[in-house]
């Protein structure tokens, strides 16, 4: 093998691996964390056998095995960089074997870059990369088999079993075989035809056994057709290297520079098109929420200032956990009440459904949390999510349903990285009252029953507050829900009934909303005094009113000083439909 | 070379044999072992798959001696669980029909063997049907993600899909039903943007659009007429709502519901004023084995969901004439559940016509999420009704189905973890005596612990369901849907 690379500059693979590691570790780590959260890798024989229900069992099993390391900080970047290194190594040998070019190492970088770019998508799994590596390995075994009869035997075995082992990536195998045979001047049309026919007919013939749609049978284990770019990039590299072979003999340097430049352009344009850095920011908020660090969520939200309902959702939860939601609500983008609770409907994407349980768990509505977590698990791409499993275990611990909690915890005990967490929770069952978070959560539970429609969040919030007026998080969510929907009447009713007696200074947003209500109802000073609104708020309100009248409601004139006030929101916030 | 190979193999086999320890118990307990699944003293058919189990305790080794008639013995020792070889088990059961197996279990703890009192597995000489058909789905929610309807051979651990919605993305598959457990006459619904009711009659598949202008929904809960000429369906305006209390989870309520009978030959739904009464919720139809009565559940209309816990269904019957597809003019109440402040769901008559099994809950019709849901047995000869305590548990028992010979029934129960329904099978004799139910055996004892799906609507089938998924897929994707005719009111 060394002979293949002795001439090459090791800068290319080391550079690719290093750059990709830096990219995924520093610029894109949260996508990789999510990839682990939507997976669950168990060390049980049953789990292993479950992979045989679909094609690409080896690619899928190894891919999922590697994905579990994405749980570790740096683990995902390390795994991907290593995979890219292996892809480059094998790709170089494949190109060298077929095209016999000097710049094989550069050409082999194209599929690596394609995989790098594809991994920016949460649905592009490691199993696709492993499948690709498997296919290249199978081809190299075939091409390195010297004895003719043995190479035929190898070809037959691989042709029949390749799809079963590696999935859709195996469709490039016949192209590689034909190209290799052609380059060795031993091509046989019959052999090529048979290999092509067999490889392409296997997905069609077996798709009903595997219960896959036609398209899915050709791309499995990938979810998206764009994952095909990976094997196609190798074919493209082989073809180009082959076609430019003669030119390369005389213009080696020029070809090298041209290919290097193309690599740079491909990477730059590919990342621009496929890397979603905005979503990465949202995922960072999500991840810190998952870890339970609200200060970090608020810090990141301040830094990013995203105008996105999911970003608002995580920020609002973090503010609520810190007890300052009504103080800083309007310091962040608020798309009416959509940033408070993410709806769980068929129109929502799976990522939104996946995280929708967080707020219900925070507020203490365990049934809606369970509903969302169940759907989060079933709608996630693999229908087995470590994160949802953890949440379902927690929900059932809070509900004192130890049989159900133990089910999830026992499953998690069979993983590598969630085992410790599960065992600590299993121990809770023996002494639940000593665990503070659990005791606190249980105080939030309603004592009576009521039926609530799945998306009637107002009814759910109202019921939580009715049942437990001391549940400040639910109370703040209910009040903010009314305020963000500009329903001042309902806000005032809830405020008077539950929030007025809460022992805390009147939060900024509540004070501002109360002033509007008092002003419009022409309340007396004595009535206003009851609410103990901060004096500076009264002065601000007077100033706002004067400026508003003076500028005839010019939002630009008001924005600088009052842009974060409820008065400004009340006057100027509108729903913009996309 | 070959000689060496054989020597090595013989040596390895002897080594494995030698691995089995002699059990010399230091402690002999008087109580029977607590095993999972609980197969202690259960009654099983002679063709059931091996009852693999483990003891619910910590141990370093487990040993089981299974003794049958004529001193036949299977002896197994393992570190984790007792997995019985299928062939030996099948032979042992076949030779022990009408008798009992005696199973002696020992476990090794801290280097010492502990032996438990032996327990029995009664082997019935009454045959059971070929297999079960069920849906596997995440528990209880309106899910259009991955799900499927599967069949399982009861004599082995073989499970194969009949249809999975991965084949028709975005669809929901549900409500499979068979004419007297006949695998060639099947109903199932595929819901979604593209879909319909798949009706297989004598092996031929049709896809139906069952929504008509006169009915409030597509056909929903099915039950075949024994002649195979009709299928009774409820039509329901369904809503899903959630409980706030931690002990309850989800409720499905009907805003309105009626019953129609689909005349297969004439491609026409038929009904009568008594089954389409606006002031009454009618649901869960089922035909008597002679085909001359239609049982159903009936409740006074209430405002939903506000009065969800005031809806209580009685068990009712109306005459049906299969010759001309007409209904009697009178509704009889067979079981007045409202009188005892209860509600009936899933009335299922035994194929021999002697009994009718149903589920009893406090209110509503979504018994699957009611912890108080229990099975009841109504003797149609004497009119006596009793709780099936031998089968019931403290948790939910809900959907149930009779075997074709009326001597076995399968039901779904949440007794294991309170969250996921699992299929239990029990024997029942001519006098209504019920054997201890047993959990559908699986190849390994961790199967149910690791499974994240519920077994939904377990139904017996007398043979393998031969369905070509390709045909269903082509019909759905190609929109080859036949519209059912206009509702004919009597």
Q: What is the DSSP string of A397-408?
A: HHTT-HHHHHHH
CA dist list (Å): A520 to A154, A439, A489: 85, 43, 11
Label residue A185 by pLDDT band (50, 70, 90).
Answer: confident
Shortest alpha-carbon distance between residue B164 and chain A (Å) = 7
Does the pLDDT value for residue A436 go beyond 90?
A: no
Structural domain boundaries of chain B? 28-124, 131-477
Label residue A257 by pLDDT band (50, 70, 90).
Answer: confident
Label residue A103 by pLDDT band (50, 70, 90).
Answer: confident
A470-525, pLDDT tens digit by residue? Answer: 999 999 999 999 999 999 999 999 999 999 999 999 999 999 999 999 998 888 87
**The tokens of B208 are what?**
């139906």
Please tell me which of the candidates A404, A414, A446 has its beta carbon nearest to residue B244.
A446
Residue whose pair of structure tokens reads 């007025």 in the numeric block: A500
Q: Which helix (H) or strand (E) holds B16?
A: helix B2-19
CA dist list (Å): A561 to A327, A496, A535, A553, B42: 16, 29, 17, 14, 78
Shortest alpha-carbon distance between residue B405 and chain A (Å) = 33
- The answer to whether the CB atoms of B446 and A46 lie below 8 A apart is yes
Over residues A293-299, mean pLDDT? 97
- State residue B209 phi and psi, 5-degree precision: -95, 115
Which residues lie closer than 8 Å to B232 by C-beta, 6 or more apart?
B222, B223, B224, B225, B259, B260, B261, B262, B285, B286, B287, B294, B296
Residues listed for chain B: 490
More confident residue, A259 or A360: A360
Closest residue in chain B to residue A410, using alpha carbons only: B449
**The tokens of A55 are what?**
């094609």
Alpha helices in A68-108, H assignment, sequence order: 75-99, 104-107
Label residue A198 by pLDDT band (50, 70, 90).
Answer: very high
Residue numbers in A near B416 (CB within 8 A): 403
Contact A181, A193 (CB under 8 A): no
Nearest to B247 by CA among A400, A242, A518, A39: A400
- Measure CA B437 to chain center: 12
Does the pLDDT value for residue A429 go beyond 90?
A: no
User: Which of A210, A211, A429, A445 should be substituted to probe chain B, the one whose Cβ sees the most B Cβ atoms within 10 Å?
Assistant: A211
Pairing of strands B355-361, B35-36: unpaired
Please tell me which of the candidates B161, B244, B468 has its beta carbon nearest to residue A211.
B161
Shortest alpha-carbon distance between residue B280 and chain A (Å) = 22
Q: What is the rounded average pLDDT for all residues in chain B?
A: 92
Which residues lie closer than 8 Å to A209 by C-beta, 6 or more apart?
none
**The tokens of A546 are what?**
């004067």
Nearest to A287 by CA among A30, A25, A28, A23: A30
Would you tell me how many other CB atoms lie within 10 Å of the CB of residue B190?
Answer: 24
Over residues B93-106, mean pLDDT? 97
Does the pLDDT value for residue A6 go beyond 80?
A: no
User: Which of B162, B452, B466, B472 should be substituted to probe chain A, the one whose Cβ sees the most A Cβ atoms within 10 Å?
Assistant: B452
Q: What b/e string do you get for A242-268 counting C-beta neighbours within 10 Å, with b at 16 or more?
A: bebbeebeeeeeebbeebeebbeebbe
- The answer to whether the CB atoms of B241 and A45 lie below 8 A apart is no
Residue numbers in A near B138 (CB within 8 A): 374-375, 377-378, 383
- The answer to whether the CB atoms of A46 and B148 lie below 8 A apart is no
Label residue B8 by pLDDT band (50, 70, 90).
Answer: low
Does the pLDDT value for residue A345 go beyond 90?
A: no
Label residue B355 by pLDDT band (50, 70, 90).
Answer: very high
Residue numbers in B near A453 (CB within 8 A): 239-242, 305
Over residues A72-96, mean pLDDT? 96
Over residues A40-52, mean pLDDT? 93
Residue numbers in A near B144 (CB within 8 A): 346
B191-237, pLDDT tens digit by residue? Answer: 887 789 999 999 999 999 999 999 999 999 999 999 999 999 999 99
Closest residue in chain B to residue A448, using alpha carbons only: B245
Residue numbers in A near B238 (CB within 8 A): none
Q: What is the rounded average pLDDT for all residues in chain A?
A: 92
Does the pLDDT value for residue B18 go beyond 50?
A: no
Query: Cα(B18)–Cα(A574) distance, rounded to whole angstroms?
Result: 80
Does the pLDDT value for residue A423 go beyond 50?
A: yes
- The answer to whether the CB atoms of A46 and B444 lie below 8 A apart is yes
Query: Cα(A78)–Cα(B447) distance, rounded to whole angstroms?
Result: 34
Topology adopted by domain B28-124: Immunoglobulin-like (2.60.40)
- The answer to whether the CB atoms of B446 and A446 lie below 8 A apart is no
- Rounded to the nearest 10°, the torsion over CA B401, B405, B407, B409 is -10
Shortest alpha-carbon distance between residue A228 and chain B (Å) = 20
- The answer to whether the CB atoms of A452 and B249 lie below 8 A apart is no
Label residue A464 by pLDDT band (50, 70, 90).
Answer: very high
Structural domain boundaries of chain A? 2-275, 276-332, 335-476, 505-572
- CATH code given to domain B131-477: 2.120.10.30
């Amino acid at each position: 093998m060394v002979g293949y690379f002795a001439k090459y500059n090791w800068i290319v693979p080391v550079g690719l691996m290093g750059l990709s590691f830096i990219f995924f570790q520093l610029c894109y780590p949260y996508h990789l964390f999510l990839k682990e959260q939507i997976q669950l890798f168990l060390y049980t024989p049953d789990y292993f056998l479950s992979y045989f229900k679909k094609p690409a069992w080896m690619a899928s099993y190894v891919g999922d095995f590697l994905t579990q390391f994405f749980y570790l900080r740096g683990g995902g970047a390390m795994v991907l960089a290593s995979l890219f290194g292996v892809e480059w190594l094998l790709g170089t040998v494949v190109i060298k074997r077929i095209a016999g070019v000097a710049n094989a190492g550069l050409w082999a970088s194209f599929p690596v870059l394609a995989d790098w770019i594809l991994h920016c998508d949460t649905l592009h799994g490691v199993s696709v990369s492993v499948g690709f590596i498997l296919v290249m390995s199978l081809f190299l075994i075939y091409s390195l088999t010297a004895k003719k009869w043995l190479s035929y035997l190898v070809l037959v075995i691989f042709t029949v079993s390749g799809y079963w082992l590696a999935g859709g990536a195996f469709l490039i195998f016949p192209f590689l075989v034909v190209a290799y045979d052609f380059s060795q001047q031993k091509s046989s049309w019959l052999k090529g035809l048979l290999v092509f026919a067999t490889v392409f007919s296997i997905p069609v013939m077996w798709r009903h056994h595997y219960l896959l749609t036609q398209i899915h049978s050709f791309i499995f284990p990938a979810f998206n057709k764009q994952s095909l770019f990976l094997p196609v990039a190798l074919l493209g590299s082989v073809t180009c290297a082959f076609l430019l072979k003669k030119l390369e003999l005389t213009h080696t340097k020029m070809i090298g520079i041209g290919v290097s430049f193309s690599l740079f352009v491909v990477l730059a344009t590919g990342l621009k098109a496929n890397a979603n850095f905005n979503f990465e920011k949202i995922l960072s908020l999500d991840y810190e929420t998952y870890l339970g660090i609200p200060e970090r969520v608020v810090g990141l939200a301040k830094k990013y200032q995203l105008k996105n309902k999911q970003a608002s959702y995580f920020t609002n939860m973090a503010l609520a956990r810190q007890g300052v939601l009504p103080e800083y609500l309007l310091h962040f983008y608020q798309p009416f009440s959509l940033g408070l609770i993410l709806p769980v409907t068929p129109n929502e994407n799976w990522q939104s459904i996946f995280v929708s349980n967080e707020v219900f768990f925070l507020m203490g509505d365990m049934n809606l949390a369970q509903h969302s977590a169940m759907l989060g698990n079933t709608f996630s791409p693999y229908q087995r999510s470590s994160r949802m499993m953890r949440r379902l275990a927690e929900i059932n611990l809070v509900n004192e349903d130890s049989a159900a909690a133990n089910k999830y915890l026992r499953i998690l005990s069979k993983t590598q990285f969630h085992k410790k967490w599960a065992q600590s929770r299993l121990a809770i069952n023996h002494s639940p009252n000593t665990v503070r978070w659990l005791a606190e959560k249980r105080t939030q539970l309603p004592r009576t029953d009521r039926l609530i429609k799945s998306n009637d969040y107002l009814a759910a919030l109202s019921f939580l507050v009715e049942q437990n007026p001391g549940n400040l998080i639910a109370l703040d969510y209910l009040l903010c829900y009314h305020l963000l929907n500009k329903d001042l009447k309902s806000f005032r009713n809830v405020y008077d009934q539950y929030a007025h007696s809460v022992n805390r200074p009147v939060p900024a947003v509540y004070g501002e909303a109360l002033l509007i209500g008092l002003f419009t109802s022409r309340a007396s000073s004595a009535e206003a005094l009851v609410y103990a609104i901060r004096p500076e708020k009264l002065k601000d309100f007077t100033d706002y009113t004067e400026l508003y009248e003076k500028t005839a409601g010019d939002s630009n004139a008001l924005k600088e000083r009052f842009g974060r006030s409820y008065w400004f929101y009340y006057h100027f916030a509108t729903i913009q439909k996309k | 070379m070959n000689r060496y190979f054989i020597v090595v193999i013989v040596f390895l086999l002897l080594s494995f044999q030698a691995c089995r320890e002699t059990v010399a118990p230091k402690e002999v307990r008087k109580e029977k072992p607590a095993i999972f699944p609980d197969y202690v003293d259960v009654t099983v058919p002679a063709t059931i798959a091996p009852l693999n189990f483990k003891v619910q305790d910590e141990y370093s080794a487990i040993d089981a001696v299974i003794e049958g008639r004529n001193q036949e013995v299977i002896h197994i020792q393992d570190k984790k669980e007792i997995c019985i070889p299928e062939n030996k088990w099948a032979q042992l059961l076949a030779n022990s029909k009408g008798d009992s197996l005696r199973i002696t279990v020992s476990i090794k703890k801290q280097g010492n063997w502990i032996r438990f009192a032996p327990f029995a597995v009664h082997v019935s000489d009454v045959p059971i049907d070929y297999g079960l058909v069920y849906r596997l789905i995440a528990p209880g929610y309106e899910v259009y993600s991955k799900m499927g309807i599967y069949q399982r051979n009861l004599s082995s651990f073989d499970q194969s899909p009949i249809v999975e919605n991965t084949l028709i993305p975005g669809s929901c598959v549900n409500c499979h039903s068979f004419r007297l457990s006949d695998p060639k006459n099947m109903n199932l619904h595929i819901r979604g943007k593209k879909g319909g009711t798949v009706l297989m009659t004598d092996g031929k598949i049709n896809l139906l659009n069952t929504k008509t202008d006169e009915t409030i929904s597509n056909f929903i809960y099915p039950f075949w007429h024994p002649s195979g000429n009709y299928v009774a369906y409820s039509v329901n305006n369904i809503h899903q709502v959630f409980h706030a209390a931690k002990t309850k989870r989800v409720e499905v309520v009907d805003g309105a519901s009626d019953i129609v009978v689909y005349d297969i030959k004439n491609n026409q739904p038929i009904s009568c004023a008594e089954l389409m009464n606006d002031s009454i919720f009618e649901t869960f139809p089922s035909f008597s084995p002679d085909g001359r009565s239609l049982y159903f559940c009936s409740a006074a209309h209430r405002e939903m969901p506000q009065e969800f816990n005031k809806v209580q269904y009685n068990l009712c019957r109306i005459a049906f004439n299969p010759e001309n597809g007409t209904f009697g003019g009178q509704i009889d109440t067979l079981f007045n559940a409202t009188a005892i402040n209860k509600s009936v769901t899933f009335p299922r008559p035994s194929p021999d016509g002697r009994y009718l099994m149903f589920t009893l809950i406090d209110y509503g019709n979504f018994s699957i999420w009611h912890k108080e849901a229990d099975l009841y047995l109504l003797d149609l000869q004497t009119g006596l009704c009793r709780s099936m305590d031998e089968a019931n548990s403290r948790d939910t028992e809900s959907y149930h189905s009779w075997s074709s010979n009326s001597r076995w029934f399968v039901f779904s129960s949440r007794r294991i973890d309170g969250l996921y329904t699992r299929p239990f099978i029990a024997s029942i004799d001519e006098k209504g005596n019920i054997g201890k139910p047993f959990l559908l055996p699986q190849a390994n004892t961790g199967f149910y612990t690791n499974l994240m799906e519920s077994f939904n609507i377990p139904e017996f089938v007398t043979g393998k369901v031969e369905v070509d998924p390709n045909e269903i897929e082509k019909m759905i994707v190609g929109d080859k849907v036949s519209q059912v005719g206009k509702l004919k009111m009597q």
